[in-house]
């Protein structure tokens, strides 16, 4: 599923020299959890923690701050799907309560974590692509 390679070249390419890298589709790179600049290095250290930088191209990930943005979408999407499915199951089959717990609690955990990783990667890739950052007051 995650097909980005993570090779360490040891090169020290300047961070602001984007001409060396062809444009990377933020949706593809974000969904695969890859570097938003080169599309090769891994973005995550583990499940959801962002690495300090790209091992492939050297991009510093310190700009990446998706905050609670992905979680809002995850809550809305997973909540809609799981509550809808639970209501459908209850109305049509009326299973015992323990079966609801057995089905929906793992479903929420698995879908929630998986979707959070995908959406966090996507929002960081879009943040890089659009050069989004916190607002600044121009005093100049
Ligand atoms: Zn990279």
pLDDT in tens, 91-134: 999 999 999 999 999 999 999 999 989 999 898 888 888 877 77
Q: pLDDT digit string (tens) for 40-71?
A: 889 888 888 889 988 888 888 888 877 788 88
Residue 135 domain flag:
no
Q: Kindly give the distance from the C-alpha atom of residue 56 to the centroid of ligand 1, in angstroms, as a whole number.
A: 5
Domain with 113 in it: 18-129
- The answer to the question of residue 136 being in a domain is no
Residue ranges with strand state E in 24-102: 44-45, 49-50
As a whole number, mean pLDDT of residues 70-78 equals 90
Residue 82: which of 58, 108, 47, 46 has the closest Cα? 108
- Ligand 1 mean position to 125 CA, how many Å? 11
The count of structural domains within the chain is 1
Could you tell me the distance, in angstroms and rounded to a whole number, from the CA of residue 62 to the centre of ligand 1? 13
The residue behind tokens 């790179």 is 29
Q: How far is the CA of 32 from the centre of ligand 1 (A)?
A: 13
In a domain, 37, yes or no: yes
Residues 3, 54, 38: CA angle, nearest 5 degrees: 60
- Within a domain: 75: yes
Ligand 1 centroid–CA 12 distance in Å is 12
Q: Does residue 66 form part of some domain?
A: yes
Q: Is 41 exposed, middle or buried (0-12, 13-18, 19+ CB in 10 A)?
A: buried
């Amino acid at each position: 599923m995650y097909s980005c390679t993570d090779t360490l070249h040891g090169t020290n390419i300047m961070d602001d020299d984007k001409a060396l890298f062809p444009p990377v589709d933020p949706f593809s790179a974000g969904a695969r959890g890859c570097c938003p600049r080169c599309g090769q290095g891994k973005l995550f250290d583990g499940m959801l923690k962002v690495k300090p930088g790209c091992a492939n191209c050297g991009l510093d990930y310190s700009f990446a701050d998706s905050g609670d943005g992905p979680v809002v979408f995850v809550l809305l999407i997973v909540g809609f799907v799981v509550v809808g499915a639970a209501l459908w199951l209850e109305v049509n089959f009326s299973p015992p309560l323990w079966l609801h717990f057995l089905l929906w609690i793992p479903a929420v955990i698995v879908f929630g974590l998986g979707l959070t990783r995908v959406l966090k990667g996507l929002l960081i890739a879009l943040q890089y692509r659009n050069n989004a950052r916190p607002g600044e007051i121009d005093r100049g």
